[in-house]
Amino acid sequence: MYRAIQVQKHLNCPLSERFKSTIQYHVVVPTLESFIGNLQERFKEIVLSSTLPEKTKRVLLYLNSRKEWLIPKSPVDR
């Protein structure tokens, strides 16, 4: 699942915009996705080996599987 990542086009850099875009989608995005995948696995291991109630574990594992750890609240929820 790829999410749009906004690249700042105004970086003071001698690289062309095309090259920056290529690097972003072929190096940066896959690296970050791999890192997040590893974090998800580690989080799952921690939750499963914890002494939390089963219901709490299920909720945490569900949120983890959907990558919803840091979803900001909408203005309506505030």
Calpha distance 56→44 (Å, rounded) = 12
Which pLDDT tens digit goes with each residue over 12-69?
A: 777 777 777 787 777 888 888 899 999 999 999 999 999 999 999 999 999 999 988 7
More confident residue, 56 or 71: 56
**Which of the four pLDDT bands, split at 50, 70 and 90, describes residue 6?**
low
Domain ranges across the chain: 17-70
Looking at every residue in the chain, the average pLDDT score rounds to: 81
Structural tokens at position 38? 């590893």
Burial 54-78 (b: 16+ CB within 10 A, else e): eeeeeebeeebeeeeeeeeeeeeee
pTM of the model: 0.62
